[in-house]
């Protein structure tokens, strides 16, 4: 409790303590850091009785205990440059330096922010280019709560090409060179009945939105299998790849 910070300072071999500017930390390979202090509350309990169900408690507070050092960002409220009215050039800094970085063991270090798509969230993107093959795409990176496997990405795309019944949907499956119609994707997983597929997608085969799948069923019916591979092998190998591409179970 009562955490306090002491601005960067340097203790010489003679015992003299003085403020440490960032330039001195660079030249002498030091870390530009603030010392942290806190009050430590120590609680001692002495259990007694035949069942040890009662105890005496006493506590003691140790004030001003050093708990480590915190690297200070140049230009922050803990930085000594804030306390000097002189220009940056007079304390060894470039007057055009935007600051905002750290000095660790004499080297300048910065923190880079990385942005990525959140896992286990459905993301919908609209393609506004008129020449694009797809109108919309839906992406989801699934990651198991145990973090034992890398995220698995599944992407569903809505084609921009009208096939007479609407705009078909395709699945982008890892290790497949071409997109797979969503109906064929379901069939590769062993779901062969069209009614069952419609019920899985819309939770009700009589839902009015089922008509949106007409283009996808039409697209799946026009795909011809490869002539040089038996149907059983095609179904087994394709199904295994599709299963491996599915999100992990909870």
- The answer on 157 and 99 residing in a single domain is no
Q: Is residue 250 part of a domain?
A: no
Assign residue 181 the CATH number of its domain. 3.90.1110.10
**Helix, strand, coil distribution of the chain in percent, nearest 5:** 25, 30, 45
Query: Within a 10 A sphere around the Cβ of 35, how many other Cβ atoms?
Result: 15
- The answer on 136 and 92 residing in a single domain is no
Determine the pLDDT at residue 185: 85
How many domains is the chain partitioned into structurally? 2
Query: By residue range, what is the domain housing residue 83?
Result: 4-109
Task: State both tokens at 14.
Answer: 């003679």
Determine the pLDDT at residue 19: 92
- The answer on 24 and 58 residing in a single domain is yes
Determine the pLDDT at residue 108: 94
The model's pTM: 0.52
- The answer on 131 and 104 residing in a single domain is no
- The answer on 216 and 134 residing in a single domain is yes
- The answer on 138 and 32 residing in a single domain is no
CA distance 216 to 181: 7
Q: What is the pLDDT along the chain (250 residues), one digit of tens a residue?
A: 899 999 999 988 888 999 999 999 999 999 999 999 999 999 998 888 888 888 888 989 999 999 999 999 999 999 999 887 667 888 888 888 889 999 999 999 999 888 877 888 888 999 888 778 889 999 888 887 777 778 888 889 998 888 888 888 888 887 778 888 888 888 888 888 888 888 888 777 666 677 778 888 887 775 544 444 444 434 444 455 555 555 555 4
- The answer on 140 and 93 residing in a single domain is no
Q: Where are the beta strands (DSSP E) in 22-84?
A: 33-48, 54-71
Q: Is residue 118 part of a domain?
A: no
């Amino acid at each position: 409790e009562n955490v306090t910070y002491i601005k960067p300072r340097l203790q010489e071999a003679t015992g003299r303590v003085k403020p440490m500017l960032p330039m001195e930390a660079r030249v002498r390979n030091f870390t530009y850091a603030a010392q942290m202090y806190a009050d430590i509350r120590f609680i001692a309990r002495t259990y007694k009785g035949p069942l040890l169900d009662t105890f005496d408690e006493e506590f003691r507070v140790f004030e001003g205990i050093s708990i480590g050092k915190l690297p200070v960002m140049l230009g922050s409220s803990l930085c000594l440059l804030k306390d000097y009215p002189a220009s940056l050039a007079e304390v060894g800094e470039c007057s055009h330096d935007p600051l905002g970085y750290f000095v660790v063991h004499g080297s300048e270090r910065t923190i880079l922010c990385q942005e990525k798509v959140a896992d286990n969230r459905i993301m919908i993107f609209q393609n506004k280019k008129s020449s694009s093959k797809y109108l919309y795409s839906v992406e989801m990176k699934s990651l198991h709560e145990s973090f034992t496997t890398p995220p698995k990405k599944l992407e569903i795309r809505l084609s921009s090409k009208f096939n007479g019944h609407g705009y078909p949907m395709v699945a982008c499956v890892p290790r497949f060179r071409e997109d797979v119609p969503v109906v064929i994707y379901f069939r590769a997983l062993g779901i062969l009945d069209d009614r069952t597929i419609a019920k899985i997608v819309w939770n009700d085969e009589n839902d009015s939105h089922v008509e949106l799948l007409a283009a996808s069923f039409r697209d799946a019916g026009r795909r011809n299998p490869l002539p040089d591979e038996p149907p059983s092998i095609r179904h087994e190998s394709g199904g295994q790849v599709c299963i491996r591409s599915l999100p992990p179970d909870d």
